[in-house]
Amino acid sequence: MKHVRETRTLTLDYDTETGHRMINQYVVDSELGRGVFGSVKLAHDVYSRANVAIKIVQREAPRKLGVPYTPRQTDERVVREIRAMSLCLHPNVVQLFEVIDDPMSRKLFLITEYMQGGELVWRDELEQPTLSLTDARRVFRDILHGLNALHENGIIHRDLKPANILWTRDRTMAKISDFGSAYVRMTPSSVDELSSATDPVLARTAGSPAFFAPELCYGASDGPPITKAIDVWALGVTLYCMLFGHVPFDAETEYLLLECIVHDDYAVPTCMCCDRVIVGPRAPRWAPLYPNSQDLCGSGSGNTYSKSAGTDSRNESTKPAETNRSHSLSNEAHAVRHLLDALLDKDPATRMTLDRAMTHPWLVAVSW
């Protein structure tokens, strides 16, 4: 934690000029968000005047019936988040500056980089993609490099998705955030050899079902071992979201969603991104598990478990057709489709690695 300051004393006060609450030397200006695990405040340092985000979390996990209770024991989720952010210092990972951990307080305060650009907006209310193809490529490249840095430092994110990608103020850089579900290796080293076969902790379900890799959808002992490849799959789903404005797999229930992820192919719509670059259509390449239940399971269905939409309001031109006109596509469209197929490979053993993704033609080509 060399780049993270640890403070063991908490002082709560009020700023004499504004009357706003103070947490040590930070004046709270407003609330950025609130969730199950705590709240996030916008604040500024009275000395440097720099804006920061303060994540305020309960030290103790919610008490559960039958689970031993240890007063003042820090929640495992909070420990993981602090450790993950402390291990990785990278331009494409949200930075943790300070942890205020007063033993007498029931709360911990994580002082982090303030991402003024906010959460990545990847679709509008009609489920149309909002990013241009150039911006989608830039965001994908940023997240790819950030994810690679996490893996090199012994961290598997386990909850990569657009909601956990934040913009800088000028929206020229994207960064990975939210490490509450992360797996963090106890000794700082690469996750290359990590597997649920040697560490059962990796087999614990974490993250958002619509971004689950197929190997996470099996029973505890039925599927392939869980490795860093689950982050690669989630990266592929995130790319699909940015390109098309919806997830590749959805269903009415979690059970059906997991079945679709394991067994079904995804469709490629006609156009990608807000500049509507032709990339398809390509129908699923094999029959779905539930061929007569398109309303229950399948890419682009309406009122679904993955919450991609309440009704299917996407433009007809973005829906997959039953024809394949790949012979008339541009080289860039072919490159995007190849990248998606490689990232969304259902077999983790043959799924594209991050190293290979960083040298993929779609990312390294000067122009198309």
Residue numbers belonging to the annotated binding site for ATP: 64
Closest-CA residue to 1 (of 64, 89, 129): 89
Phi, psi of 162 (to 5 degrees): -55, -35
The two three-digit tokens of residue 342, written as one number: 């490689």
Q: DSSP 3-state assignment of 41?
A: strand
Closest-CA residue to 235 (of 300, 161, 164): 161
Phi, psi of 257 (to 5 degrees): -60, -45
The two three-digit tokens of residue 326, written as one number: 């790949």
Q: Residues 6 or more apart from 362 whose CB is under 8 A from it?
A: 137, 332, 335, 336, 338, 339
Pairing of strands 21-23, 26-35: antiparallel
H-type alpha helices, 198-251 = 229-244
Give 233's DSSP letter: H
Q: Give the active site residues.
A: 159
The two three-digit tokens of residue 97, written as one number: 């500056």
Q: From the CB of residue 313, how many other CB atoms can be counted at a distance below 10 Å?
A: 11
Which residues line the annotated binding site? 64
Per-residue DSSP letters for 149-162?
A: HHHHTTEE-S--SG
The answer to whether the CB of 329 falls within 8 A of the CB of 279 is: yes
Closest-CA residue to 348 (of 182, 218, 200): 218
Q: Residues 6 or more apart from 350 whose CB is under 8 A from it?
A: none
The two three-digit tokens of residue 93, written as one number: 């990972």
